[in-house]
């Protein structure tokens, strides 16, 4: 048994079903072990960055750590963006990189670099294994750190000679065990003290204008049912961050949709600003989620729930902090409200003050619906180039309720956030929000489809970001993954062009492609069916057909540049109305 065999068997012990990566010179022993093993299934990618993006999305839709691997040197360097994305989004990911032999240390050998120094700023744990006997315990640490309270990315460097060294099989078997509670995440569903939970329910019951504010941590906890039950029994309106989109059915009477700087509707943001108490669940309250810190009113009180105690009160002062798992905390809230109802015989006010909250929730929901209707012209426009709003409306009409939208930064994001309203709850929206990297959606859609093969998966991207990842169409074609690739083609880096329009006097530079590349023909060259719809109804028809197909489809929607009508980015909408000399770019 070799060190590589030990590594692969440890992955199997952890229930790893898929691993994404590609080989290099230092990977030979590891790949030989993959060939000998029946599990995990290895998926060859076309770029190390893509490997990590696939693992990131895979983790998001499965609730299990995503695993990727890459070779030394350039491979380790290339895989960093995806690892940083997962760690920044608190997504459990384990990255393995092979390394140059220990015997070549300090000799300037080809592809040699300090991998642990490289990965330390973008992981929760990084280690280089110096002997094969240490592989099992090092991988246990990697999975432990990835799935613990401070979830994120782990990294293990495996030198080539450590992987190829032979060990006594019987002795090695003794240490081949996994810690079962770190197979999935969160590994521990902690709950705060009972007195704190009771205080939180009391605060919510006595508030006049309470709002629930859900971030991506709600998805990481898979607390969708608990959120729905608690919101319904208390009549509390629910807003989400961009990462929290899908936490609740957005067509329901309590849904306010996305809030914040990127895709937050004015009515949704105003509801949160008017709240006297906000229950924050699984959000770090960063600049985007809080519209540059302006989302809360001056006298608001916050209750913040987070698995990581260090995040509580980090960006805003809190009335009450609850360090615990979102699902466990919401389940405790439900039990407390039900117990109060039993004790009082079901009298008014016993069920979380639902009756008094209902008019407030209805007022907020009505304002949101009226704002959506005010965009009716954009949502219904059928001419080409399409408005981005119309493409989103086509998605909403054509896709099954359990579809997963995988979104690149840039053009699609604010429109999906504001106008795509899922009719169910769950991990329905996947995006690289920690760093907003372009080139995320196509590889991430592969990871999402591998992790959720029975659900339609749609990648949304602009032509700028597509060019950064189009090589992964070969992976899609080779594996015949029935994903839908939807391009918002506008011939430019539209997000950046919008910044230049609003804040730099329309002095455009470096944003227009001026290219006539036929991306439909590019897709066909990869063996992928491609279509360019000429009307809104045709777009809806093709999306529905593609979502039901058993093979991949590329759909190019020619869209207007974002400069034609200011998108739902709160700072831009605010500043576009000012005289140019009064515009001062601030955080979203």
| Burial (Cβ within 10 Å: 0-12, 13-18, ≥19) of residue 277 | buried
Smallest Cα–Cα separation from 42: which of 82, 12, 84, 6? 12
Is residue 245 domain-resident?
yes
- Average pLDDT on 194-203 reads 98
- At 109, the pLDDT band (50, 70, 90 cuts) reads confident
pLDDT higher than 70, residue 271: yes
Q: At what angle do helices 28-36 and 3-13 cross, to 10 degrees?
A: 50
Task: List the beta bridge partners of residue 97.
Answer: 70, 157
Position 588 in a domain: no
Average pLDDT over residues 280-285: 97
Q: Tell me the whole-structure pTM to 2 decimals.
A: 0.96
Check whether residue 159 and residue 30 sit in a common domain.
yes
Task: Indicate whether 400 and 545 sit together in one domain.
Answer: yes
Residue 379 and residue 360 in one domain:
no
Residues 297 and 445 in one domain: no
- Which pLDDT value is given to residue 347? 56
Q: Does an H or E element contain 224, and which?
A: helix 224-234
pLDDT in tens, 129-164: 999 999 999 999 999 999 998 899 999 999 999 999
pLDDT range class, residue 582, cuts 50, 70, 90? confident
Angle, helices 224-234/326-343, rounded to nearest 10 degrees: 30
User: Tell me, what DSSP letter sits at residue 72?
Assistant: S
In a domain, 189, yes or no: no
**Residue 587 — pLDDT band, cuts 50, 70, 90?**
low
Q: Does 347 share its domain with 380?
A: no
Same domain, 393 and 510: yes
Tell me the average pLDDT across 425-439.
Answer: 94
**How many Å apart are CA 16 and CA 2, to the nearest integer?**
19
Residue 77 has pLDDT above 90, yes or no: yes
Rounded to an integer, what distance in angstroms lies between the CA atom of residue 479 and that of residue 101?
Answer: 33
Pairing of strands 153-159, 125-128: parallel
Domain boundary among 136, 152, 182: 182
One DSSP character per residue, 379-416 reads HH--SSSBPHHHHHHHHHHHS-TT-EEEE-SSTHHHHH
pLDDT band at 173 (very low <50, low <70, confident <90, very high): confident
Are residues 442 and 492 both part of a single domain? yes
Beta bridge pairs of residue 52 = none
C-alpha to C-alpha distance for 115 and 76, rounded to whole angstroms: 7
Spatial separation of the C-alpha atoms in residues 254 and 232, rounded to whole Å: 8
Number of domains composing the chain = 3
Residue 351's pLDDT band, with cuts at 50, 70 and 90, is low
- Mean pLDDT across 389-409: 97
Cα separation of 321 and 260, whole Å? 22
Helices 266-274 & 354-374 angle (0-180, nearest 10) = 150
What is residue 174's predicted lDDT score, i.e. its pLDDT?
80
Please tell me whether residues 383 and 367 are part of one structural domain.
no
CATH number at residue 270: 3.40.50.1220
Q: Is there a single domain that holds both residue 446 and residue 574? A: yes
pLDDT band at 346 (very low <50, low <70, confident <90, very high): low
Angstrom CA distances, 292 to 259, 261, 321, 500, 530, stand at: 12, 7, 22, 20, 40
pLDDT exceeds cutoff 90 at 82:
yes
End position of a domain, from candidates 121, 151, 182 = 182
Domain contains 474: yes
Q: Which residues, 6 or more positions from 316, have their beta carbon under 8 angstroms from its beta carbon?
A: 285, 290, 296, 302, 304
Q: Is the peptide bond before 186 cis (omega within 30 degrees of 0)?
A: yes
Whether the CB-CB separation of 490 and 461 falls below 8 Å is answered with no
* pLDDT tier at 583, thresholds 50, 70, 90: confident
Examine the domain organization and report whether 453 and 545 are in the same domain.
yes
Residue 316 lies in a domain: yes
Higher pLDDT, 181 or 232: 232
Asked if residue 187 belongs to a domain, the reply is: no
Tens of pLDDT along 450-484? 999 999 999 999 999 999 999 999 999 999 999 99
Pick the last residue of a domain from 162, 182, 202: 182
Contacts 24+ apart (CB under 8 A), 362-368: 362/253, 364/211, 364/237, 364/256, 364/267, 364/271, 365/237, 365/253, 365/254, 365/255, 365/256, 367/267, 367/270, 367/271, 368/255, 368/256, 368/257, 368/265, 368/267, 368/268, 368/271
Which pLDDT score is estimated for 170? 74
Residue 387 has pLDDT above 90, yes or no: yes
DSSP 8-state class, residue 346: S
Q: What percent of the chain has pLDDT over 70?
A: 98
pLDDT given for residue 110 in this prediction? 86
Task: Clarify whether residues 295 and 176 are in a common domain.
Answer: no
Q: What range defines the domain where residue 200 resides?
A: 194-372
- For residues 150 and 279, the model is more confident at 279
Closest C-alpha among 572, 567, 566, 568 to residue 587: 572
Assess if residue 413 is contained within a domain: yes
> Quick check: is 322 in a domain?
yes
Q: Which of 531, 520, 515 is nearest to 473 (CA)?
A: 520
Residue range 57-72: mean pLDDT, rounded: 98
* CATH number where 557 lies: 3.40.50.970
277 φ, ψ (degrees, to nearest 5): -150, 130
Q: Are residues 214 and 236 in the same domain?
A: yes
Whether the predicted pLDDT of 349 surpasses 50: no
Of 93-102, 175-184, 396-405, 421-430, the poorest mean pLDDT is in 175-184
CA dist., res. 511 & res. 151, Å (int): 36
> Tell me, what DSSP letter sits at residue 26?
G
């Amino acid at each position: 048994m070799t060190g590589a065999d030990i590594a692969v068997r440890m992955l199997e012990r952890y229930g790893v079903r898929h691993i994404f990566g590609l080989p290099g010179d230092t990977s030979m022993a590891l790949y030989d072990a993959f060939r000998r093993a029946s599990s995990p299934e290895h998926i060859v990618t076309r770029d190390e960055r893509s490997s990590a993006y696939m693992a990131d999305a895979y983790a998001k839709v499965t609730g299990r750590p995503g695993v990727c691997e890459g070779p030394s040197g350039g491979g380790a360097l290339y895989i960093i963006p995806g690892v940083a994305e997962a760690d920044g989004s608190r997504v459990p990911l384990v990255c393995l990189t092979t390394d140059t032999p220990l015997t070549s240390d300090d000799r300037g050998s080809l592809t040699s670099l300090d991998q642990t120094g490289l990965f330390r700023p973008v992981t929760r744990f990084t280690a280089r294994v110096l002997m094969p006997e240490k592989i099992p315990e090092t991988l246990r640490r990697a999975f432990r750190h990835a799935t613990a309270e401070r979830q994120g990315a782990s990294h293990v460097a495996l030198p080539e000679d450590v992987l190829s060294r032979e060990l006594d099989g019987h002795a090695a078997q003794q240490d081949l065990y996994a810690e079962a509670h770190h197979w999935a995440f969160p590994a521990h569903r902690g709950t705060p003290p009972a007195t704190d939970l009771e205080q939180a329910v009391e605060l919510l019951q006595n508030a006049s204008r309470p709002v629930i504010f859900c971030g991506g941590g709600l998805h990481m906890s898979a607390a969708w049912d608990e959120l729905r039950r608690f919101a319904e029994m208390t009549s509390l309106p629910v807003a989400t961050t961009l990462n929290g989109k899908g936490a609740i059915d957005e067509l329901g009477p309590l849904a306010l949709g996305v809030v914040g700087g990127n895709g937050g509707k004015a009515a949704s943001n105003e509801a949160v600003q008017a709240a006297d108490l906000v229950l924050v669940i699984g959000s770090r309250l960063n600049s985007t989620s809080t519209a540059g810190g302006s989302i809360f009113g001056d006298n608001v009180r916050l209750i913040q729930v987070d698995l990581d105690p260090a995040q509580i009160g980090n960006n805003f002062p809190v009335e009450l902090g609850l360090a615990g798992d979102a699902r466990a905390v919401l389940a405790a809230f439900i039990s407390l409200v039900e117990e109060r109802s039993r004790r009082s015989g079901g009298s008014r006010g016993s069920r979380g003050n639902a009756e008094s909250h209902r008019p407030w929730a209805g007022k907020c929901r009505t304002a949101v619906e009226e704002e959506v209707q005010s965009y009716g012209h954009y949502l219904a426009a059928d001419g080409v180039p399409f408005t981005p709003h119309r493409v989103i409306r086509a998605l909403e009409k054509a896709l099954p309720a359990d579809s997963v939208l995988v979104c690149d930064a840039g053009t699609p994001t604010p429109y999906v956030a504001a106008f795509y309203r899922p009719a169910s709850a769950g991990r329905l929206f996947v995006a690289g929000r920690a760093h907003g990297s372009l080139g995320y959606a196509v590889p991430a859609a592969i990871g999402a489809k591998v992790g959720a093969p029975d659900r339609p998966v749609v990648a949304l991207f602009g032509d700028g970001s597509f060019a950064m990842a189009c090589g992964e169409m070969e992976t899609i074609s080779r594996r015949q993954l029935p994903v839908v690739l939807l391009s918002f083609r506008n011939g430019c880096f539209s997000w950046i062009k919008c910044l230049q329009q609003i804040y730099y006097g329309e002095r455009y530079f470096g944003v227009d492609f001026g290219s006539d590349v036929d991306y439909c023909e590019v897709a066909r060259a990869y063996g992928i069916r491609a279509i360019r719809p000429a009307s809104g109804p045709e777009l809806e028809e093709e999306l529905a057909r593609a979502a039901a197909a058993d093979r991949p489809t590329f759909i190019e929607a020619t869209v207007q540049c974002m400069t034609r009508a200011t998108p739902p980015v709160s700072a831009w909408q605010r500043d576009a109305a000012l005289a140019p000399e009064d515009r001062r770019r601030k955080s979203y």
